[in-house]
Amino acid sequence: MKSLVLSIFVLSAASAAFAQQWEFGAIGGVSLPINVSANGTPGNATAGFSAGPTFGVFFGQNRYRNFSGEIRYEFMKSDLHLSGNGQSASFDGVAHAVHYDLVFHTNRKESRTQYFGTVGGGIKLYRGTGAEQAFQPLSQFGYFTKTQSVQPLFTAGAGLNYRLSPKVFLRAEVRDFITPFPTKVLTPAPGVKFGSVLNDIMPMVGISYLF
């Protein structure tokens, strides 16, 4: 009897392992940062990053009916930006994000369209890549620096997958990348205080393959 139970358990575990589906995909879209206030002695302005293209890849494991997990990487063209007093100033920059997400979804086998929501966390690296200058417009509010800053990342989003074939899915999603403001890269001037949280809204479209 014990041997029979053990055999059933082993066969069930093996079946579950073979039933797992792995997913690999690529995705692209646009990064739309919500800039923060920059308030102080010089007056009021905004500080943050300009909109730009974003590209990424993801690798996921689908083990359960209604949720799965994904490891993701995104690259963002993300120029530093200041605006105020009728002026604006920019500085070349990029960002990289690496994170793990839990994905809650409807069952793919039941419909051609699958809706999902995600929450996750990881890190986001901000880099100033421009050429520093002796004079910078709006320097009374902040300074652009050719350096980098790693910040903790929280991300949440929602979207849908549309089945193009039994193994290929089209994905559309909107995500919010939330980090502390990277003041090491865009540094407030003396007497100026920046908002502490940066939101980066990213609508993206991609394609994935199940194997």
74 has a pLDDT exceeding 70: yes
pLDDT at 4: 36
pLDDT at 76: 98
CATH 2.40.160.20 fits 19-210, yes or no: yes
177 has a pLDDT exceeding 80: yes
pLDDT at 111: 79
Joined together, the tokens standing for residue 194 give: 């920046």
- In the β-sheet with 192-194, what is the strand arrangement from edge to edge? 87-91, 80-84, 43-49, 36-40, 192-194
pLDDT per position as a tens digit, 90-135: 999 999 999 999 999 987 656 799 999 999 999 999 999 999 888 8
User: Across-strand partners of 55?
Assistant: 28, 75
pLDDT at 110: 64
User: Are the C-beta atoms of residues 157 and 176 closer than 8 Å to each other?
Assistant: yes
pLDDT at 109: 59
Q: What angle do CA 62, 153, 142 make, to 5 degrees?
A: 155
- Number of helical H runs and strand E runs in the chain: 1, 15
